[in-house]
Structure 1
């Protein structure tokens, strides 16, 4: 193997996902992942802390979502701000339905990975709440809105991932955000 291998991170992630799907998360070792990717264990650990993180590290979801919320027009109403964040989050999944479906099947099959996914979603909600506070939203509005946006994303992702074929996630998330508005509307 050469000293520098192009796309090592992506190759390791793909190899891990393939092995997790074939033989299970618990039975897959870092050595097997590295070998499948044509790399060394040392290279694996330069990119990932452990075999769990290969499925969670490096996702731009939080950065995209939070940045879109923080950069939404100052005068935009809160639902529009959340919608901008949801649109940005959905964009990262365009053309990735098959990969997301495979990854979700692996995560769903293992309690340790489901727990890690929930931790990532909690971190996303906390970061969103911080961005909303930075926009001047008071508490508890910032935290409630952030948690609601993550719930919309989570439900939308689950609906998108179980669709028979790849559809655009943006309209789906916007529909769910509208539904949340109807649920919470005071009449």
Structure 2
């Protein structure tokens, strides 16, 4: 009995030794303000943990459960947001590390979901999240906020329409052009929604 307990503790310590340097690396790169280095560290963490920690990419910008992260539209603000979530998840993972069989039921509960349903859930959550992000942006006036939320509502409506990809894109194009004129902070989350819509078709 003692041997088993000691073995479990050692496993936790080993995991801690592996993950702690990554937590430090994330904190350092956020403080550096260097966008290229942030993207490099983001990709490293993505490659290392997305397949090993359930729901690792959830609530992060430009993440699709089926396709992973899309780095094409990922700017500095999105990188910082994602890296902070990654840091928190890794810190939590150290303290709640599921040893051996303890991880199996957790994964079963979250992974036994049909892919088609998962796509719809992710996109639905994203619309809600992006509306909240626009609401929380301090640089926007009440009128601008309202107009952008209307555009997100339009996207949500287009997403649910049973029409061809080409027709959807014709409807989406003016919205994409509109948000691109509003600056990077506004464009990134809304464009990430558009990317997810296209992937989900």
| TM-score, reference length from structure 2 | 0.29
Bigger radius of gyration among the two = 2
Structure number with greater CO (CA < 8 Å, separation at least 6) is 2
* Structure 1 or 2: more helix by fraction: 2
